[in-house]
């Protein structure tokens, strides 16, 4: 009876020992990582600290950067300049500035005062020779005040292809009254004479500059001395100018006529003007030459075959 009772106890002990041995074996193989409730809870922060968790956010960011880096850049497309808001692109015709001929100054050298049809050869600016354009450039440099006029053609030799209306010299400080109609070459010679001879002579003898030059005749379709049967005058070509009086800045009038017995300064001025003017003109006639030139100086640029000058 005692043997039967001890046998089950021994079997129970063997089973318990076997279970404990198996449990220890499983713990050694990694099966014992399962968390078991603990009676001592303690500080919860200690428990969290002892259980580190993997932070997945940095890995996600690394993957995102890698994707951005690997992704190919979009192909470059050809960009065209777009006009700003409210602006329309210019057409080819609008890109070039157009000069309004109506606003062009009449005093601009090299161009007629009014051109209705610049394509027409008769009114084309290109019909003007290079010498005419160069002459006008020199007039501008000398300060001559002039305007272009329409071509003059009164028949025969009475014509000026590119006439000028001259009204002053020295940038307007010296006036010419009334305004004279001349060709460009005669205007240039007269302007040089005023600057190089007449103005210095008046300052030397009268200690005053010139205010006004009074002319008696410029362009005129007539014969020499206006006499029938004589050759046509250089006035008919705008190639001559007659001077009757000079007014100085101090108000003194110097008339071109035979001076009185005691008019020493006037005589000296007229004599020097007559002699020195031959350096600028081919013909110089004045008081004492004949009855037709008793009250003025006649200057012209007559082209003589002999090349001689007439200064009387």
Q: Which residues of 221-251 are buried (b: 16+ CB within 10 A; e: fewer)?
A: beebeeeeeeeebbbbbbbbbbbebbbbbee
| Interval 16-50: pLDDT, tens | 777 777 666 655 555 444 454 444 444 444 444 44
**In the predicted model, is pLDDT for residue 285 greater than 90?**
yes
Among all chains, which residue has been given the structure tokens 């300052």? 203
Q: Which residues of 12-22 are buried (b: 16+ CB within 10 A; e: fewer)?
A: eeeeeeeeeee
Confidence (pTM): 0.61
Strand blocks (E) in the chain: 145-148, 152-153, 159-160, 164-169, 174-182, 210-217, 240-248, 253-255, 283-285, 297-300, 310-311
| Interval 165-197: pLDDT, tens | 999 999 999 999 999 999 999 999 999 999 999
pLDDT of 147? 96
Tokens of 27: 């713990």
Sorted by where each begins, the domain ranges of the chain are 165-311
Q: Which residue, 103, 183, 190, is CA-closest to 136?
A: 183
| 176 conformational bin, left if phi > 0, alpha if psi -120 to 50, beta if neither | beta
CATH class of 165-311: alpha beta
Tokens of 147: 């305007």
| Interval 92-135: pLDDT, tens | 434 444 444 444 444 433 334 444 443 344 444 447 889 999 99
**For the chain, percent of residues with pLDDT exceeding 70:** 62
Per the CB < 8 A criterion, the answer to whether 220 and 235 are in contact is yes
**In the predicted model, is pLDDT for residue 210 greater than 90?**
yes
């Amino acid at each position: 009876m005692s043997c039967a009772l001890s046998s089950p106890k021994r079997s129970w002990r063997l089973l318990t020992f076997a279970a404990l041995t198996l449990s220890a074996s499983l713990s050694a193989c990694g099966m014992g990582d399962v968390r078991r409730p603990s009676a001592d809870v303690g500080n919860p922060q200690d428990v969290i600290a002892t259980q580190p968790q993997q932070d997945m956010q940095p890995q996600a960011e690394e993957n995102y950067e890698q994707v951005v880096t690997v992704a190919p850049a979009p192909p470059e497309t050809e960009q065209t300049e777009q006009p700003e808001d409210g602006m329309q692109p210019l057409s080819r015709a609008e890109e070039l500035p157009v000069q309004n001929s109506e606003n062009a100054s009449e005093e601009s050298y090299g161009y007629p005062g009014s051109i209705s049809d610049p394509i027409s050869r008769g009114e084309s600016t290109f019909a003007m020779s290079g010498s005419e354009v160069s002459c006008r450039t020199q007039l501008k440099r000398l300060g001559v005040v002039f305007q272009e006029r329409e071509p003059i053609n009164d028949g025969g030799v009475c014509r000026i292809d590119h006439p000028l209306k001259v009204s002053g010299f020295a940038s307007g400080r010296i006036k010419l009254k009334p305004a004279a109609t001349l060709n460009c070459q005669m205007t240039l010679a007269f302007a040089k004479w005023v600057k190089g001879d007449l103005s210095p002579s008046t300052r030397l003898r009268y200690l005053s500059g010139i205010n006004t030059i009074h002319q008696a005749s410029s362009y005129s379709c007539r014969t020499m001395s206006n006499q029938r049967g004589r050759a046509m005058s250089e006035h008919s070509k705008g190639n001559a100018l007659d001077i009757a009086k000079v007014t100085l800045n101090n108000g003194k009038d110097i008339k071109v006529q035979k001076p009185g017995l005691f008019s020493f300064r006037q005589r000296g001025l007229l004599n020097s003007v007559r002699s020195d003017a031959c350096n600028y003109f081919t013909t110089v006639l004045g008081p004492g030459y004949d009855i037709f030139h008793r009250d003025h100086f006649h200057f012209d640029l007559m082209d003589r075959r002999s090349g001689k000058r007439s200064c009387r």
